[in-house]
Amino acid sequence: MVFSTIIFLCIFLPVVILSYYLVPKQGKNLFLLICSLFFYAWGEPVYVLIMLASIIYNYLFGLAIANHKKAKPYLVLAVLVNLGVLCVFKYSGFLVENIDRIIPNLLKVPDIALPIGISFYTFQGLSYCIDVYRDKKLVQKNPVNLALYIAMFPQLIAGPIVRYSDIRQELSERKHTSEFFALGAERFIIGLSKKAILANTVGALATNIMSNDMQYMSLPVAWVGAIAYALQIYFDFSGYSDMAIGLGKIFGFHFAENFDYPYISKSIREFWRRWHISLSSWFRDYLYIPLGGSRRGNVYLNLLIVFVATGIWHGAAWGFLLWGLWHGLFLVLERVLTKQEQKDAALSKTGRIISQTFGRVYTLFVVLVGWVLFALVDVKKTAKYLMVMLGIKRNAFVAYDVSYYFDKKTLLIFVIALFACIPWKNILKKTGANQTFMFMVSKRLVLLVLLALCFVFIITGSYNPFIYFRF
């Protein structure tokens, strides 16, 4: 994994960027498509055929939907085929395992490997077909353009989920400027730093704690493990999203933001407006609203359906389903109670501060408990971990205290990661400090240092997973 990352950063990426700008305008999409297929085939030499099949049948479904007055049957078929392929590769083993528990030896559990990024490019294909059904003018007749939309390597294997309608124009005509290139490079370095420096370090800490025997774990250690995992998944995924958005800018595409400092949220509702924005907005527009949203049917049932689907989207395990249901239940609870904004408006300044502080503490508590479900997946392991974490079970013998898991480097990066969850750039923007000449020079020097540090961490580190690759 480390060797592949170095090859990608030192050879593949610079060659692709340089060649892209040398290729004539009319050949840029084809060039990017070839690079994207090569990039995917590097890690998935067999399953690249599944992605090619997804491109072909979504292209044909789009044409069928656009060219027939009675397009609904074609849309239904497109949804069934896309979800069917996803179910076969992602959920068939899980379904058979659970059937086998009820009726032993009825079916053989299939040994099917999960293609990297299948959830992401399947949802992009679905969004294309649904967008064309809603507006037939959006149909893409150029197969290269549609293939590039589905297979584009910057966001192919871990998002963000890009809407076809958002980049349709840029697939045909886009601008390339030195400003976009500079902003893209800056964003890529920030994303790489989040991943290589922060996520990998706190991720190793989380793994060390969560993989230990819980009957010898103390309450503080359990909390540190949960917090470390929360930091890991945030900087891992937001880092990848930043890299994708940055590369998109370099190639002339503008991908929507995917994270907006979710750990400062004052409610679970706000958390989902800030966390994995492309997924939550996808489910809102393509599932929640078609179900009736808050205007038709039972809004609470609609919310629970959406968040059960959100959990299942992440993986074929009861832990993911319960994680989605956990968030859905608190969203329902928040809807039942008076809206936070209305309560804050009626409070004094001191009352608002107290209310918002409570909201942040409550939200972090719910999110951290949810991350334990998400990280451990296994329901029994999760229950044991949460019993220790919440003080329900106090172990008589504790193998290691918190200090055992921290060396100086890990402690420093853990603290930096905590502070990096706060939107300091917004604070600087309000003061105007980010517009000074010294700030701009310092920022570029810091970026160069961060890039160098990333290579050091990647080369010397042995822990380098991308959590969302498995989804």
* Residues with a known catalytic role: 314
3-state secondary structure of 371: helix
Cα-based distances in Å from 66 to 70, 130, 146: 10, 11, 15
∠ CA 164-165-170 to the nearest 5 degrees?
A: 80
Task: Tell which phi-psi region holds residue 105, choosing left (phi > 0), alpha (psi between -120 and 50) or beta.
Answer: left
d(CA 192, CA 206): 20
d(CA 162, CA 258): 10
d(CA 21, CA 98): 52
> Running DSSP on this structure, what letter comes out for residue 199?
I
Strands (E), 310-420: none
- The reply to whether omega before 143 is within 30° of 0 (cis) is no
**Contact between residue 44 and residue 157 where contact means Cβ atoms under 8 Å apart:** no
Give me 374's structure tokens.
């998400």
Give me 124's structure tokens.
């992009």
